Amino acid sequence: MIRKGTLGLVMVAAAMALGSSALAAKALKVGDEAPGWSGIIGIDDKEHGLAGYKEAKAIVLVFICNHCPVAVIYEDRVIALQKDYGPKGVQLIGVNVNNIPADRLDKMKERAKAKKFNFPYIYDSSQKMGHDYGAKVTPHTFVLDKDRKVAYIGAVDNSKKVDKATKHYVRDALDALLAGKTPPQAETKAFGCTVKYEKKAK
């Protein structure tokens, strides 16, 4: 016979397990269909959506911002990715979901101009894209294949110092996808500044 107190503990544990499962089920995973998005304003003052890049052989979404020193360190590497892979049919898109003053659209335009960004830099003030993709830090990278399935999630490479990087995760993922293969490493731990979410995901 199960005592009343024990039964209560069992019910709580079961509820916690169910809650954890529900949360895990919602987390974006490699192989999932990429969440769609539309009407996101860019530094060009135009609206951008996933469907607008249907010709791309692969898409690299990089969640970045202006204020984060780690994101700033990676700017040149992100620019180089678009320069090297754009001619191969890959489209890189910078996504900012932070609403702090240093990261708003006017500051994004200034930063993009100063650094000569060669890719769309879009601003989702609703932060929905960040929640949908599960972006936790800046930079946090999501590579989408030609069928818009998530093929890679994680860091750009394995070192903040460009000359110390020995693993180039995004480049390796793109090389594999363009060759019709599976990325050699589909997921890594992203590192950087925490995304400044204002509310929990619904």
Question: Consecutive sets of 10 residues in the chain, 202 residues long: mean pLDDT of each?
Answer: 41 34 58 97 98 97 97 98 98 98 97 98 97 97 98 97 96 98 97 93 66
Assigned domain for 199 exists = no
Q: Provide the number of structural domains found in the chain.
A: 2
The tokens for 158 are: 């394995």
The tokens for 36 are: 């769609």
pLDDT value at residue 173:
98
Rounded Cα gap, residues 199 and 42, in angstroms: 22
Tell whether 75 and 142 lie within a shared domain: yes
Where in the sequence is the domain holding 55, given as residue range(s)? 31-194
- Residue 65's nearest CA partner among 110, 128, 132 is 110
Assigned domain for 183 exists = yes
Assigned domain for 100 exists = yes
Using the CB atoms, write b or e for 70-79: b if 16+ within 10 Å: bbbbbbebbb
pLDDT value at residue 199:
79
Tell whether 24 and 39 lie within a shared domain: no
Tell whether 38 and 48 lie within a shared domain: yes
Assigned domain for 54 exists = yes
Tell whether 12 and 100 lie within a shared domain: no
Tell whether 40 and 66 lie within a shared domain: yes
pLDDT value at residue 127:
97
Decide: 17 and 24 in contact? Cβ < 8 Å: no
The CA-atom distances, in angstroms, between 66 and each of 4, 43, 158, 175 are 55, 13, 21, 28
List of E strands, the chain: 40-42, 47-48, 58-63, 90-96, 121-123, 137-138, 140-144, 150-154, 193-194
Tell whether 66 and 1 lie within a shared domain: no
Tell whether 125 and 41 lie within a shared domain: yes
Number of other CB atoms surrounding residue 107 within 10 Å: 17
Task: Give the 3-state secondary structure of residue 39.
Answer: coil
